[in-house]
Structure 1
Amino acid sequence: MEIFLELVKVLVPPILGGAVVWFIKARIEEIKNIQEKLREERRKLYMEILSPYIKTFSNPNNVNQAIKEIKSVNYRKISFEFNFVGSDDVIRSLNSLMQYIYNIESSKEEKDDVKLLNLWGKLLLEIRKDLVNKRTKLNEFDMLKSMIKDIDELNVAQTRTRSK
Structure 2
Amino acid sequence: MTEKHWLDYLAALGSIATPILVLALTAIGWKLRRRVERQLELEDKLREDRITIYNHILEPFIILLMTDAAWQHDKQNRARDKSDIALGKMLSLEYRKIAFKLSLVGSDAVVLAYNDLFQHFYSQGEAPNASEENLKIMMGLLGRFLLEIRRSMGNEATQLNQWQMLEWFITDARKWRNT
Question: TM class by shorter-chain length?
Answer: 0.7 to 0.9
Aligned position for 1:49: 57
Summarize the alignment of residues 2-151 of structure 1 with structure 2, pairs less than 5 Å apart.
9=16, 14-15=22-23, 17-60=25-68, 61-107=81-127, 110-111=129-130, 112-151=134-173
Scaled by the length of structure 2, the TM-score of the pair is 0.72
One-letter code aligned to 2:92? S
Aligned equivalents of 1:32 and 1:88: distance in 2?
18
Aligned equivalents of 1:53 and 1:143: distance in 2?
13
How far residue 77 of structure 1 moved from its aligned partner, in angstroms, is 0.8
Deviations 1:32-81 (A, max 9, x none): 11122223322221111111111222345522101001000111111111
How far residue 101 of structure 1 moved from its aligned partner, in angstroms, is 2.0
Flag the structure with higher helix content: 1
How far residue 146 of structure 1 moved from its aligned partner, in angstroms, is 0.2
Aligned position for 1:5: none
User: What value does the CA root-mean-square deviation take over the aligned residues?
Assistant: 2.4
One-letter code aligned to 1:129? R
Scaled by the length of structure 1, the TM-score of the pair is 0.78
Aligned equivalents of 1:16 and 1:89: distance in 2?
38
Aligned equivalents of 2:138 and 2:44: distance in 1?
32
Work out the percentage of aligned pairs sharing the same amino acid: 30
One-letter code aligned to 1:89? A
Q: Mean alpha-carbon deviation: is it higher for 76-85 or for 8-17?
A: 8-17
Aligned equivalents of 2:31 and 2:138: distance in 1?
50
Cα pair distance change 1:92/1:24, threshold 3 Å:
closer
Cα pair distance change 1:15/1:53, threshold 3 Å:
same
Q: Mean alpha-carbon deviation: is it higher for 73-82 or for 134-143?
A: 134-143
Cα pair distance change 1:102/1:18, threshold 3 Å:
closer
Cα pair distance change 1:13/1:156, threshold 3 Å:
closer
One-letter code aligned to 1:22? W
Cα pair distance change 1:136/1:14, threshold 3 Å:
same
One-letter code aligned to 1:29? E
Structure of higher CA gyration radius: 2
One-letter code aligned to 1:85? V
